[in-house]
A and B are shown apart, each in its own frame.
Chain A
């Protein structure tokens, strides 16, 4: 095992895949000369040159569509969004082009492309720069979505995404880049898409979540442990394809579920998870499922309001207590 930061793990994944396959290239705003807005691509320009590490104008729609066209011709582009907040400008190309290439052409063309970048709130960046857009992307059949929570998953999922023949969206936690973690030293550390992982074993309640919220859930689980509650934390890792078997397994084990996500509640990822559980594991539930999400408002700037808007370990603990019928308030 090596200890790497999340950004170093992503950087390794990119470098290894570019080394392995000459058709892989990275494109985005300031990925080259500037070494990446979040330094994920640090050193790659020196190593792979301007042909494969391509700085673009600030034109998300244009360079995203360029990537899709290049992928149709068999290249394997990795498109970096400086943040997923800006990807909204490129949604036509992701939703209307990339997601539909294989289907509309009845399999004549493939679209092996990766869209990646940071998602979710950082600190006091306000409404246009603090959005968790997973549910928007997950809505579209034809796309695959992964949300790594740890350096090991960041490396493994990105490598899997680059090798995948379909368009894959890798949404990285904006506040996770400095986080350190153990990454297996194996020669080819790949985490398959569509496989969830139990990040903490437990028996009393399941906290199901993904991405940055895995850490909030783990904090909550630690707090609950002090109170004699043994919470299981299931990290979905991929939102499409969804590991339904892992969800059902944890529900059958603990019979109680709290879903945590950074996005908005309305038509959020949690809505789908709750539906899946009620349809396929209704009889295993001992309590209604609760969701902990961002408040249903654009993110405010003011510090206290922002704190109130975001999901927190305290709110997760409270939700767990409620599904355990231990809530006193």
Chain B
């Protein structure tokens, strides 16, 4: 083994683009971003955190059902990368998708209503936590099969190239998806055909309860890119500025000539895999989680902003109060949104519902007859 388990843990969060000096951005700690842009990033990170805290509460009292995968601890990844996009660019991800959806522009109300399974949800209550979608926001959704969304992202990249546009696709996946054949097949085609897809592996160390070093023969995910002759980078997924810098470089490459990039964002999930998985105890210790929390991406960003005179305590207080209100309102909105009617069971199976013959073996009229 090239690294001991302890050494790997220590090196988990942190990193920089391959072949670059980690201190390269010292001279420009904020990437030249203006105050309002920085505040927008902070707002999205805090919104993600508070929204998920609210979701956890709602789940605990049974307002949210099914699987619910929280993003707490990983906010810097979604915010740093998606905020480097133009609105017309695309985002696709897996089932830990609440924060990506909101950063891409789906309202907290629509996301919360979807978690509640209500008609005003962004998938009409048919998707739930794992399947959020936004056609207007070019959010291609959350997908539930590990690695299954990766070929879809390449298809979006294919369509962009087909139409000779310069949009890009951000495709998120957990590190466990990297072991899937879908990942290999997709990166090969993206590199072969120069499709503008940026693959962001959110390496939060655990595929459900299995630590990365117990699941992969290769520890350094970014090295996988060499198998496809594709540029790659390691980003500090606990540092929203590093995340944004690395993603921006990849986006510029993709817009220029379609070059895809593989980014490994090293991060850590403060919560369990899903709501049914305890935070610690089975596959990781309390000490490990506490140690990682010292690198909380929101705290780090707050400190950075304050150190650079970009944020006052008063501004933070006002922002956080506003966000708390937004989350309360989202929960209230979801609560007040009606549940889908029985007639909705049969809608949207097919785009064309007026075809000849009968679409369903279990037919509507039988439902109506009760």
Give the interface of A toward B (CB within 8 A): 25, 51, 56-57, 59, 61-75, 77, 92-93, 96-97, 102-112, 141-142, 144, 164-166, 192-196, 238, 240-245, 272, 276
Bound Cα distance from A92 to B243, whole angstroms: 32
B315 on the A face (CB < 8 A): no
Contacting pair A72 B349 (CB below 8 A)? no
Contacting pair A195 B156 (CB below 8 A)? no
Q: Which residues of B contact A51 (CB under 8 A)?
A: 162
Chain B, 149-184, CB within 8 A of any chain A CB: 150-160, 162, 181-182, 184
Q: Which of B140, B155, B358 has the most CB of A within 10 A?
A: B155
Please name 20 further chain A to chain B contacts, defined as beta carbons within 8 Å, in addition to the given A65-B186, A73-B90, sorted by A numbering.
A51-B162, A61-B151, A61-B181, A62-B154, A67-B155, A68-B151, A69-B92, A69-B140, A73-B159, A75-B158, A92-B145, A93-B151, A93-B152, A107-B347, A141-B360, A144-B350, A144-B355, A195-B357, A243-B356, A272-B361
Closest chain A residue, CB of each to CB of B144: A96
Contacting pair B357 A141 (CB below 8 A)? no
A69 in complex: contacting residue of B124, B154, B356, CB < 8 Å:
B154
B159 in complex: contacting residue of A70, A106, A194, A243, CB < 8 Å:
A70
Per-position binary interface string of chain B over residues 83-116, scored 1 when its CB falls under 8 Å from any chain A CB and 0 otherwise: 0000000101000000000000000000000000
Contacting pair A75 B162 (CB below 8 A)? yes
B352 on the A face (CB < 8 A): yes
Closest chain A residue, CB of each to CB of B151: A65
Contacts A61-B181, A103-B126 known; A66 to B352 CB distance under 8 Å?
Answer: no
Bound Cα distance from A46 to B162, whole angstroms: 18
Distance to closest chain B CB from A69 (angstroms): 2
Determine, out of B68-76, B131-139, B254-262, B320-328, the stretch whose residues face the partner at the interface: B131-139
Distance to closest chain A CB from B170 (angstroms): 13
B141 in complex: contacting residue of A73, A105, A238, A243, CB < 8 Å:
A105
B288 on the A face (CB < 8 A): no
Contacts A57-B185, A141-B360 known; A65 to B192 CB distance under 8 Å?
Answer: no
Closest chain B residue, CB of each to CB of A71: B155
Closest chain B residue, CB of each to CB of A112: B351
Q: Which residues of B contact A194 (CB under 8 A)?
A: 355-358
Distance to closest chain A CB from B27 (angstroms): 40
B155 in complex: contacting residue of A70, A104, A107, CB < 8 Å:
A70
Closest chain B residue, CB of each to CB of A164: B352
Q: Which residues of B contact A102 (CB under 8 A)?
A: 348-351
Bound Cα distance from A61 to B123, whole angstroms: 26
Q: Which residues of A contact B124 (CB under 8 A)?
A: 106-107
Contacting pair B349 A70 (CB below 8 A)? no
Q: Which residues of B contact A70 (CB under 8 A)?
A: 155-156, 158-159, 162
Distance to closest chain B CB from A150 (angstroms): 19
Q: Which of A142, A196, A276 has the most CB of B within 10 A?
A: A142
Contacting pair B155 A108 (CB below 8 A)? no
Q: Which residues of B contact A144 (CB under 8 A)?
A: 350, 355
Q: Which of A111, A166, A276 has the most CB of B within 10 A?
A: A166
Contacts A108-B133, A108-B134 known; A65 to B148 CB distance under 8 Å?
Answer: yes
B127 on the A face (CB < 8 A): yes
B152 in complex: contacting residue of A68, A105, A195, CB < 8 Å:
A68
Contacting pair B352 A165 (CB below 8 A)? yes
Contacts A67-B155, A75-B159, A240-B359 known; A57 to B133 CB distance under 8 Å?
Answer: no
Q: Which residues of B contact A166 (CB under 8 A)?
A: 350-352
Bound Cα distance from A89 to B92, whole angstroms: 22
Bound Cα distance from A142 to B359, whole angstroms: 9
Q: Which residues of A contact B144 (CB under 8 A)?
A: 96
B143 on the A face (CB < 8 A): yes
Contacting pair A242 B145 (CB below 8 A)? no
B310 on the A face (CB < 8 A): no
Closest chain B residue, CB of each to CB of A23: B162
B156 in complex: contacting residue of A69, A165, A276, CB < 8 Å:
A69
Distance to closest chain B CB from A141 (angstroms): 5
Bound Cα distance from A165 to B350, whole angstroms: 8
Q: Which residues of A contact B133 (CB under 8 A)?
A: 104-106, 108-109
Closest chain B residue, CB of each to CB of A107: B348
Bound Cα distance from A72 to B134, whole angstroms: 12
B158 in complex: contacting residue of A66, A195, A238, A240, CB < 8 Å:
A66
A243 in complex: contacting residue of B186, B351, B357, CB < 8 Å:
B357
Closest chain A residue, CB of each to CB of B171: A69
Contacting pair B131 A104 (CB below 8 A)? yes
Distance to closest chain A CB from B100 (angstroms): 15
